[in-house]
Structure 1
Amino acid sequence: MSDYLVHLTRNEHILKQILSTGKLKCDKPFGFRRFRLQKEVRERHRSVCFSEIPLDQLGRLYTKKGYYGIGFSKKVLKEKGATRVWHIEYNSPQAMAIQNLAELASKQNDYSAPIWNLTPFVDPIIPGTFDWAHEREWRAQGDLTFSLNNVAFLITPSSITESLSAMHIFDDWQDLELRVAAPSPLLGEILNETIEEFYNRFCNPIHILPTDHGEYVWHVREWSTEDALYTLFPDINDTIFDKLATFLNTESTSWVEI
């Protein structure tokens, strides 16, 4: 149906945070409703969700999921452990088999049983109450880390925007309501905001330190660009870190904490 998997979110701030940290954080537990809240296996059910829905059908998800998003190729996310969610009929023989195996493992306090590798990726369909099969959902257990080179495209309310590493994947999608634009202004905004935050804490020593025979007199700590960035942004995406370090080193390789 699609070569891409999409994670949607509700506002631009969250999308910027995802891009700047290179991390999609798992939130609540997902999977087989009977067991996902059980304390012994709850963490195993905490996952990041994606949709395989065709890109021209994304409008079906906006109201529930949000108007901002990030897209990856299936190949990239498969390598990171993502897999399809299995939607099965409630009280079907398949659902009852999974429930019975999980109940047996739970009664025996066997929380290393193989069934617990399955329950995070199974959702029973309850007609009229719970039926999200149309989302064609995939999940990855735990937090998902990525580099910007892993990102195929970004989604905003006005466009699908090719990311830094994206090829011309939408050449055949000119009739879409969402239009393609490149490069992403969001990435530029993230860099500008991060640089401004850096300048609020560190400054070029040429503006503040005394000199002696052309050499700085270091009566305060000397910070390298890299050490200053690591201290200020410990969770920053590696790709953005490299771009910031390259930019700042053109101004100075040493910094003073204001």
Structure 2
Amino acid sequence: MMMWSNFFLQEEDRRRGAASRRRAHKSGRMTPEQEGKIKLALLLTSVGATLAVLAVGTEFWVELNTYRDNGSAVCDAAHLGLWKMCTKRLWQADMPAGRDTCGPAELPGEANCTYFKFFTTGENARIFQRTTKKEVNVAAAVIAVLGLVVMALGCLCIIMVLSKGAEFLLRVGAVCFGLSGLLLLVSLEVFRHSVHALLQRVSPEPPPAPALTYEYSWSLGCGVGAGLVLILGGGCFLLLTLPPWPWGSLCPKSGPRAT
């Protein structure tokens, strides 16, 4: 008798759940379970969006460092991003012991920050007697901005899904988030090529260009993390658009055992 009563209880719960899903579908509303999953995925993508805005808005993508053995009490370093660069004169006494190059650029010193002129007048920037390749720098910035715009469209689609019940926009939002993450990663790769182009374009005019080393900084790390998280979030939204029956057959629910 206990076994049959458990069977009928499970069957009744299944019918009630199916009926509630049908009513939600007919009324254009999502079930609380679907809404909770979408909110969790939106929380994941909001982390990626925060990292993306932080990366694009800051200028610590790469640090350029001169060598310390210049016979002076100061040395020069610079850090730059998509929009501007900052050159700094640092004190040799503040450098970490055992470091051959000037830096890190976060150390206190005399800073001079300027926005790149190729966004306004079309002129290349000069950094340590080296010239930027403006076409590559502009391409990296434009791709990053496109990534942010597509990411904003994805956020708008998910907000419409949660507020208006427009479930057809869930797939659109998934594509937008995945595309925005891909665009950010492409922007990082284009920026990497701009750094290599800068190091090779040495000016022949005096004074001679100093020897430089470079290292990528935390802003670029935020960009990499943002791209990966946004692609992962887009994949999560895409999974939520799939029909539930394949997953239900792979992961059947187990009811209480009869004793």
Find the structure with the greater CA-based Rg.
2
TM-score band by shorter chain is: under 0.3
Structure with the bigger RCO (C-alpha within 8 Å, sep 6+) is 2
**Greater strand fraction, Structure 1 or Structure 2:** 1
TM-score of the superposed pair, with normalisation by structure 1: 0.24
TM-score (norm 2): 0.24
